């Protein structure tokens, strides 16, 4: 059982999660659960349930009448229509299950900080690798991708635990140069937003907000710094637009790099893999001398005759590259037109994934999408309100939310399918002379392995030993991510020991979405 938090009723706590703690320990704020379920009020959901039951009764009466009154003159047509009606009835019933018990979720960021990120002590928060995928910079403007990257580099999370990987599946020199410009602008943008606690932390969308930007800003230097930063951003956009204009005129001999060598990606379907680290934990400093998160450009290898032109393969390449460079325990994937509008969103996900009791059972945390650039009435239903605000909340209530292609934080262990390998210790000198160690019984070995796996693992140490990991099957991929709007967090959590996901293509048809 779980002791209720201060000022909250006991029924609001997620009673389905078992916490084997003593009452004395539960009084300690650092040992209480990091999240809870918030059921929808009965006054709101019960009327809808009554309507569902009423429809089910009417449907049953209708089907009973149809089955007991066959049409003898057109029996084949009657049979076909009855089969279709039964099929549609079953589809409707299955569609009602996710809507029967919708829930919200609430996190406790203060408890997360007390447990893993205490002031004055090294942060114990887990490392997170964030993936951004793009293909054609002319269809997916580099300024949009740049805003996504800037919002990632400015998240409210320890800089040594955040790494941003940008996958350029089109091997475009325009994307490469735009990312180089973005890394330089980040040295000014990141300290500015963290100093004044700016939200959202994508400059294009922050400067376009029609709000009172002086609200809650008491520093007298804010107005001056904001004007200077807006001027810097306008100059940054001019430089990016100049790169775009230059990219429209491709030289006959292809692009040439500054050292005079041809750009490896001139042939987009036949080129080697390219990796460039623009910012690193030891080499990337902002204008105030503070470290910046790691920023890595990745363009996977492509050869003729192989079907590697889909997003799935690009994400798989990011998983492999990140495993070598940073090997973060958790992975978040975003489309290039998704930006993080809530800088604490990564911490929100950690409240589920790093919970000592709930975390080991969680495969991924799926956040809903929100969209910009849509008319007030959303006449084309671009926001997918029914899907994100009703269906997925209901699926979360029955522990079955789906991965929707972006805005999802995955546990790397769940993606790989097994725990990190544990190497056997080498025998000591005396043991070698005596002929080696005795073999332990299977039961003792299993119990010792179980104890080792239950021990707390330092999140700053790479999770996996790459030498012992077998190569995956070519063509499979493990995709991942979504982030919440401020002050209205709800997410969808799926509990599973290990899951492997087959990938698919995801396209955003209308508007720009942000997480």
Q: What is the 3-state secondary structure (H, E, C) of 268-308?
A: CCCECCEEEEEECCCCCECCCCCECCEEEEEECCECCCCCC
CB neighbour list of residue 417: distance below 8 Å, 6 or more residues apart:
498, 500
Has 234 been labeled as part of a binding site?
A: no
Has 197 been labeled as part of a binding site?
A: no
Beta-carbon neighbour count of residue 100 at 10 Å?
13
Q: 132 is written with which tokens?
A: 């951004």
Has 140 been labeled as part of a binding site?
A: yes
Q: Is the dihedral of CA 113, 14, 415, 366 positive or negative?
A: negative
Q: What is the DSSP string of 308-364?
A: --SHHHHHHHHHHHHHHHT--SEEEEEETT---S-TTHHHHHHHHHT-TTTGGGEEE
What does the alpha-carbon distance between residue 185 and residue 266 come to, in Å, rounded to a whole number? 27
Has 310 been labeled as part of a binding site?
A: yes
- DSSP letter assigned to residue 261: P
Beta-carbon neighbour count of residue 262 at 10 Å?
12
Give the three-class secondary structure for 55: helix
Has 37 been labeled as part of a binding site?
A: no
What does the alpha-carbon distance between residue 320 and residue 323 come to, in Å, rounded to a whole number? 5
Give the three-class secondary structure for 57: helix
Has 311 been labeled as part of a binding site?
A: yes
- DSSP letter assigned to residue 128: E
Distance of CA 246 to the CA centre of its chain: 34
What does the alpha-carbon distance between residue 60 and residue 71 come to, in Å, rounded to a whole number? 19
Long-range contacts of residues 86-94, Cβ cutoff 8 Å, at least 24 apart: 89/59, 89/63, 92/55, 92/59, 93/56
For the chain, the distance separating the N- and C-terminal CA atoms, rounded to the nearest angstrom, is 33
Percentages helix, strand, coil for the chain, rounded to the nearest 5? 40, 15, 45
Q: Which residues does the annotation place in the binding site? A: 133, 139-140, 169, 310-311, 335
Q: Which residues does the annotation place in the binding site for Mn(2+)? A: 311, 335
Q: Which residues does the annotation place in the binding site for UDP-alpha-D-glucose? A: 133, 139-140, 169, 310
């Amino acid at each position: 059982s779980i002791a209720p938090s201060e000022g909250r009723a006991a029924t609001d706590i997620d009673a389905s999660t078992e916490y084997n703690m003593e009452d004395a320990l539960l009084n300690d704020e650092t040992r209480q659960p990091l999240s809870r379920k918030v059921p929808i009020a009965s006054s709101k959901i019960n009327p809808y349930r009554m309507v569902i039951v009423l429809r089910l009764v009417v449907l049953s009466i209708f089907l009973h009448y149809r089955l007991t009154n066959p049409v003898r003159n057109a029996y084949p047509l009657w049979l076909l229509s009855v089969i279709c009606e039964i099929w549609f009835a079953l589809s409707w019933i299955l569609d009602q299950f996710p809507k029967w018990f919708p829930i919200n979720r609430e996190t406790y960021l203060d408890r997360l900080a007390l447990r893993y990120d205490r002031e004055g002590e090294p942060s114990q928060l887990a490392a997170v690798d964030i993936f951004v995928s793009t293909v054609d910079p002319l269809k997916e403007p580099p300024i949009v991708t740049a805003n996504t990257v800037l919002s990632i580099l400015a998240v409210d999370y320890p800089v040594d635990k955040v790494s941003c990987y940008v996958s350029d599946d089109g091997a475009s020199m325009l994307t490469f140069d735009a990312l180089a410009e973005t890394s330089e602008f980040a040295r000014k943008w990141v300290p500015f937003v963290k100093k004044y606690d700016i939200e959202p932390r994508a400059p294009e969308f922050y400067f376009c907000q029609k709000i009172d930007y002086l609200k809650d800003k008491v520093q007298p230097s804010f107005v001056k710094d904001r004007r200077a930063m807006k001027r810097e951003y306008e100059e940054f956009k001019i430089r990016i637009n100049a790169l775009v204009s230059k990219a429209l005129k491709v030289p006959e001999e292809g692009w040439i790099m500054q050292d005079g060598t041809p750009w490896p990606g001139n042939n987009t379907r036949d080129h080697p893999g390219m990796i460039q680290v623009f910012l690193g934990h030891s080499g990337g400093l902002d204008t105030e001398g503070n470290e910046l998160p790691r920023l890595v450009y990745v363009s996977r290898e492509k050869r003729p005759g192989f079907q590697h032109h889909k997003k799935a393969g690009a994400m798989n390449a990011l998983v492999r590259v990140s495993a070598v460079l940073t090997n973060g325990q958790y992975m978040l994937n975003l489309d290039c037109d998704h930006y993080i509008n809530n800088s604490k969103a990564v911490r929100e996900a950690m409240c589920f994934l790093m919970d000592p009791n709930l975390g080991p059972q969680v495969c991924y945390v799926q956040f809903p999408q929100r969209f910009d650039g849509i008319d007030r009435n959303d006449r084309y239903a671009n926001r997918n309100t029914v899907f994100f605000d009703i269906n997925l909340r209901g699926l979360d209530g029955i522990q079955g939310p789906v991965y929707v292609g972006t805005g999802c934080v995955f546990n790397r262990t769940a993606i790989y399918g097994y725990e990190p390998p544990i190497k056997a210790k080498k025998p000591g000198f005396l043991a070698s002379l005596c002929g080696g160690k005795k073999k332990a019984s299977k039961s003792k070995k299993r119990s010792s392995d179980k104890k080792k796996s239950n021990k707390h693992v330092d999140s700053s140490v790479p999770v996996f030993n790459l030498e012992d990991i077998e190569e995956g099957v070519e063509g499979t991929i493990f995709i991942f991510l979504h982030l919440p709007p401020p002050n209205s967090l709800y997410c969808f959590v799926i509990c599973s020991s290990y899951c492997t996901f087959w990938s698919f293509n995801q396209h955003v048809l209308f508007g720009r979405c942000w997480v």
